[in-house]
Amino acid sequence: MTDRKISLSNLNYFRWKEEQKKRVVNQSNIALTYKGAVEYSLQGKKGPVIAAIHGEPGNIFQCEYIFAGLRSPNFRYLAWSRPGYLGTPLESGKTIKEQSELFLALLDFLGINKVAIIGFSFGGVLAMDFAIRYPERACAIILDASVAKRIPYGRSFYRYMVNFFAFSDIGNWISSLVSSISKKLSIRSLIKCYSNLDGNEIKELLDDIANDEDMSQIVCNSLIRSMTPFSLNKRGFRNDARNYHHLDTLAFNKISAPVLIIHGDRDGEVPFEHGVYLSKTIANAEFLHLKGSMHFTLLSNEDEVTKKKFSFLNRYVLKKEELIKGKSIDKKVLGETEKAIFAKAERIADSNDNVLLVDAIEIYPSGNSYHIAITIEVSSRLNFIKLKPITDDLKSKIKDAIPSVSEVFIQTMPSGFFASTISQQRNRGLAKDK
């Protein structure tokens, strides 16, 4: 990541502010639902819908971070701005109850019956509320660094300075000037603000992000620049602060949908205890404890977080009957031997940390043995050199576990698209808005 010179237009605060407004306004669709207007974007051609609910503050652009690493042709992706943020008027829903009703109206407007929800930070509160009020519409919930109770923030000078630069247009402008000189300074401030990492740990994570083009794009575009200028998000931010009392009445134990809780124990924004509390309160919830991870868990634990989310969605959102229907083999017409081979091969492939999804399994009788052809989705960030050992390992494990299989053919598909790959997919028309 190279340092750059300051653009002359950025030196004029008013011109900079107008340019930032043009950058973010009218970039998405507006749904005129029976509960009010909602800014949204629906991407993908087929499959179940995964909806992102952003945090406080946040907006539709923060959803790109939530979806980072989760792109697959098997799903569609619904992003939206909650009331008071960017293009969704605050009047569309001030309370958590009203925002749940608005989200339901958006699903009805788009003709979506059931949805998997990823609630990030304060967005987890709305995800849980929706799952309680409309259990028939939520098929699975992922709570990523979710809030569970009120957070008492200190009044330190550092917190005051963070609030000034993050939550004011003048502060945003000064931050953009600094970022124009060195993006590292902006990223370092983000890490320091949202983690309890020490100086050496911050430097190590900063270097990892700065040397990763995809990850640095996600941080700068979806987490930092997405909130600029802050005045376009101020009403939503202030409204959220008034909604923390809703946590006192939220009946976590009434959530019936499968729940995955992800939380880092070095989270500097939402304490780790929130994740622990939710894991003990929500019946049968899965809990991924990320050691050494900050608030934005993907930045420090990309592989672990991505694999866990895909595995969870594969089990509870891509129903096995629906998944098999898309394969060449209809499981119902297989004999008991073939069914056992099918299940074991799928289990072995899915257990590999680098396999995000198993798309297809085809079984071909060959004399006294069988040939298997498997199509798997792997991270688009893996190159061929890293890919070959993965496929070779899968072939070996399947043959060792299933003696009747003599040949294994594996086809890989790139998935989990990150920032630069998402842009390429859009340009080719593979992820258009509805």
Could you read off the pLDDT of 208-256 as tens digits, one per residue? 999 998 999 899 888 988 888 899 999 999 999 999 888 888 898 899 9
- The residue extents of the domains of the chain are 8-153+233-318, 320-420
| 328 or 9, higher pLDDT | 9
pLDDT (tens digit per residue) in 298-327: 999 999 999 999 999 988 998 644 444 444
Q: Which CATH class is domain 8-153+233-318?
A: alpha beta
Write out pLDDT tens, residues 180-217. Answer: 777 888 899 899 989 999 999 999 999 999 999 899 98
Q: What is the pLDDT of residue 174?
A: 85
Conformation bin of residue 292: beta by default, left when phi > 0, alpha when psi is -120 to 50: left
Single out the residue of 289, 287, 288, 285 nearest to residue 257, CA to CA: 285
* Length of the chain measured in residues: 434
Handedness of CA 401, 405, 406, 411 (dihedral sign): negative
Q: Mutual orientation of helices 169-181 and 13-24 as an angle, nearest 10°?
A: 90
53-96 per-position pLDDT tens digit? 999 999 999 999 999 999 998 899 999 999 999 999 999 999 99
How many angstroms separate the CA atoms of 331 and 318, rounded?
Answer: 16
Q: How far apart are CA 168 and CA 157, in angstroms?
A: 16
CB neighbour class for 74 (10 Å; exposed up to 12, middle 13-18, buried from 19): buried
Structure confidence at residue 189 (pLDDT): 87
Indicate if the pLDDT at residue 2 is higher than 50.
no
CATH superfamily of 320-420: Cation efflux protein, cytoplasmic domain (3.30.70.1350)
Residue 54 half-sphere exposure toward CB, CA atoms < 13 A: 29
Is the predicted pLDDT of residue 343 greater than 60, yes or no? yes
- pTM for the complete prediction? 0.87
C-beta neighbour count of 275 within 10 angstroms: 27
Per-residue pLDDT, 159? 65
